[in-house]
A and B are shown apart, each in its own frame.
Chain A
Amino acid sequence: MRSMINAKQLTHEFFRRDEEGNVEGISVALDHVDLDVEPGQFIAILGHNGSGKSTLAKHINALLTPSEGTLIVDGKDVSNPSNTLDIRETAGMVFQNPDNQIIATVVEEDVGFGPENIGVPTEEIWQRVESALKGVGMWKYRSHSPNRLSGGQKQRVAIAGVMAMEPKCIILDEPTAMLDPDGRAEVIRVAHELNKKKGITVILITHYMEEVVGADYVYVMEKGHIIMDGTPREIFSRVSELIAHRLTVPQITLLAHELKKSGMDIPDGILTREELIEALCR
């Protein structure tokens, strides 16, 4: 099967410039990253601020192109400018701040903006808008003004806007960082539903550990490198390493880890309360 996303030795360098625009130095945002995502996978990328995870995301829909190495999205090389538009239709992106992504004054018009822009016939635009808004549970708000919605609802509208482009892959770049706990849960639930029901490949970039528990595979980034990768259970078994890398684990995983250190017989990589209770009462 063809990979949805395949990065080989992907490197991205930024020039740092002084006030006159002279190059002062070079920052390496991505440093020889290898990564492979199969169609239909739910992938999480973890890392603290400045680890390179957003730079990686921006390559996947060709907002940035590699300085070195290659990145192939659904068979197309992002370094080739003639592929740019195709790649942006294949891989849609949702950003952190919902207020920066919504442009229309009515929800359904905002969702229809993307398909209209690429010349989809009017009849079909409305079908896509309906299906996208139903997919994120926002159909009943179709004639509302976006500025009256909660943060979680706005972010779901932004996701619907991407869905209406019928992408094969959605990249969510810290979509919940500005939301309250209810809003966060809504957005993550919608991402999983789109993945399961429509088979859309999801790349979720986050620093909330609780949000990666349901992913198929997790990459942990630091200083432009992938420093760990594995299933959530494998990653969360390495508690001390994660903490050393400025990250943390869910409170229950941390409690299990602490109990084990105190001499109790508890397996590594406990993710949920049920698992911990099972281990305690066995």
Chain B
Amino acid sequence: MSIILDHVTYTYSAGTAYEVKALDDVSLKLSDGEFIGIIGHTGSGKSTLIQHLNGLLKATSGAIYFNGQDIYDKDFDLKGLRTRVGMVFQYPEHQLFETTVFEDVKYGPKNQGLSDKEATNRAFDALSAVNFPDEYFDQSPFELSGGQKRRAAIAGVLAMEPDVLILDEPTAGLDPKGQRDLLTLIRRMHKESERTIILVSHSMEDVAEYVDRIIVMDDGKVFLDGTPETVFSHVTELEERGLAVPQVTYLMEELKGRGIPVEGHATTLKSAKEEILRLSRAGALHV
């Protein structure tokens, strides 16, 4: 499974005074099993980009290939693509609607044309993948806590067994423990299923901690694309674009600025801790 974007441009309100290029000549290759973070400030093109990946928006120019097939080809099964590339929107719990959690999760697979029995199996698997407690399966989704609603909504997308899972700010509005639990769950799902996961986030600390590859969007273009270490070594360039680097990365940069021989680019708490302990043992913290 791979998705290739070849010189994709998307223009809103083309030909009017309000014309905006939301995507500007974007070329990317997203490969099988990657865990990718997309960052960028509001209006940078993140949401427009992900809506192209499952064909919700059609590029003004350029091409998109899913497993080598042109998704804009008239023979391409665009409806099938939407279940193979599953999308969890912001505040997905607003889209819960069935009378019980279990029925809500079954809705997707039933729509895919699966039998009731198959849909039931899918719903079981999806709800257990998100650690949803089985005593609440028959509860109305509207009586759940915020974190549980969010997980039920994610299970609804997982039940369609997509090859690619896109989550648009999945932790927004959850409390810190709820945020940590959900990100840990997403990481576990990635490890166990080896499906491609794309996480759109505002939190530099979160993307640094969880993903393997970061795509930074700015003004409709891909501004940076690489591992957290490479991306977050561009401190000044990110700040000029209204973005930031993780707090620990700033700390290590400032230590470097004081003439302390800091090695590498720590982007997570763990790597910063190890580097400081190394410097401390080497007696290199006092200059």
Contact = CB atoms under 8 A, between A and B. Distances in A.
B277 to A, nearest CB: 6
Given A251-B205, A281-B286, A150 B173 contact: no
Given A182-B41, A258-B269, A281 B250 contact: no
Interface string B178-210: 101000000000000000000000110100000
Interface string A152-189: 00000000000000000000000001101111000000
A262 interface: yes
Interface in A12-61: 48-50
Contact of B258 (A150, A247, A251, A277): A277
A246 B41 CA distance: 28
Interface in A235-280: 246-248, 250-252, 254-255, 258-259, 262, 264, 273, 276-277, 280
A207 interface: yes
Contacts of A246: 175-178
A247 B273 contact: no
A190 interface: no
B20 to A, nearest CB: 14
A177 B203 CA distance: 13
B269 A255 contact: yes
Contacts of B285: 280-281
Nearest to B205: A251
A177 B173 contact: yes
A258 B254 CA distance: 19
A277 to B, nearest CB: 6
B175 A250 contact: no
Interface size classification for chain B: 35 or more
A209 interface: yes
B247 A273 contact: yes
Interface in B242-287: 242, 244, 246-248, 250-251, 254-255, 258, 260, 269, 272-273, 276-277, 280, 285-287
B69 to A, nearest CB: 35
B250 A273 contact: yes
Given A150-B42, A182-B41, A255-B273, A49 B251 contact: no
Interface of B: 41-42, 145-147, 172-178, 180, 202-203, 205, 242, 244, 246-248, 250-251, 254-255, 258, 260, 269, 272-273, 276-277, 280, 285-287
Interface of A: 48-50, 150-151, 177-178, 180-183, 207, 209, 246-248, 250-252, 254-255, 258-259, 262, 264, 273, 276-277, 280-281
The 10 A-B pairs at the shortest CB distance, nearest first, are namely: A246-B177, A48-B175, A248-B176, A251-B247, A207-B175, A49-B175, A273-B251, A180-B42, A180-B202, A258-B273
Given A277-B251, A280-B280, 13 more contacts: A150-B42, A177-B173, A178-B172, A182-B242, A246-B178, A247-B175, A247-B176, A251-B246, A252-B248, A255-B248, A259-B276, A277-B254, A277-B258
15 contacts: A49-B145, A49-B146, A178-B172, A180-B202, A181-B244, A246-B175, A246-B176, A246-B178, A247-B176, A248-B176, A262-B273, A273-B254, A277-B255, A280-B285, A281-B255
